[in-house]
Amino acid sequence: MKDSIIIVSGGMDSVTLLYEMRERIALGISFDYGSNHNKREIAFAKLHCERLGIKHIVIDLDFMGKYFKSSLLEGAEAIPEGHYEAENMKSTVVPFRNGIMLSIAAGIAESNGLKYVLIANHGGDHAIYPDCRADFIKAMSDATRLGTYPGIEVMAPYTDITKTDIARRGKALGINYAETWSCYKGGEKHCGKCGTCVERKEALRDAGIDDPTIYEGWHQYY
């Protein structure tokens, strides 16, 4: 039964969730909020939704690029390099991004007679992204349930698992992760050095997947 909307960025996590839950998903939503890598991600979100026969729409959130403060919105040179555990990675937070996206998705779900909004936040996000943590997701689900007539709920099945766990699920599903985008710099190739590139490489390595990603400057990874 098609009862769900998914927020699908085009990255590893949301694409994996898209395939896992495809039987329930009526609509995929991507948000263009002006980040360096948005366009590259959204192209893959569209590709996978079309492949699965799932309607896909893009919502423009250009006001975030105009009024919000984040290195993600300031061009590739502003993106810090290193591991997510490093303090400087906090600069990549886009304030309340998931709260805004979930609110819009809940309204679209109610307007389309759907009951659930799916989001692919995971355990590795918790260190620096407050709107990816379990308490936040629960609070948002409570808010959407109480603030809509059908009681829209947020489903975030990856909240307490790692990106490596997600990659293992993707491997079992036969997902080609070359058809996903992670790099925050949004160049022609993955930079291989920003926090999300480092996390991507570690997850694929630890899941036993030969990394198909083309990185700047080299072709053998981890």
36 pLDDT band, cuts 50/70/90, is confident
154 among the known binding-site residues? no
CA distance 222 to 220: 7
- Type and span of the H or E element at 155: strand 153-155
**Correct CATH for 4-206 of 3.20.10.10, 3.90.1150.10, 3.30.1130.10, 3.40.50.620:** 3.40.50.620
Query: Tens of pLDDT along 137-153?
Result: 999 999 999 999 999 99
For 82-95, what is each residue's pLDDT tens digit?
A: 665 656 678 888 99
Look at residue 75 in the predicted model and tell me its pLDDT: 78
Answer yes or no: pTM beyond 0.85. yes
Separation CA 5–CA 15 (nearest Å): 13
Contacts of 51 (CB under 8 A, 6+ apart): none
CB atoms within 10 A of CB 59: 15
- Is there a binding annotation on residue 113? no
194 among annotated binding-site residues: yes
Q: Is 132 helix (H, G, I), strand (E, B) or coil?
A: helix
pLDDT tens-digit readout, 120-139: 999 876 667 899 999 999 99
- Whether the predicted pLDDT of 219 surpasses 50: no
49 is in an annotated binding site: no
- The single-letter code of the amino acid at 30 is S
Ligand-binding site membership of 173 (annotated): no
13 is in an annotated binding site: yes
Q: Is 140 annotated as a binding residue?
A: no
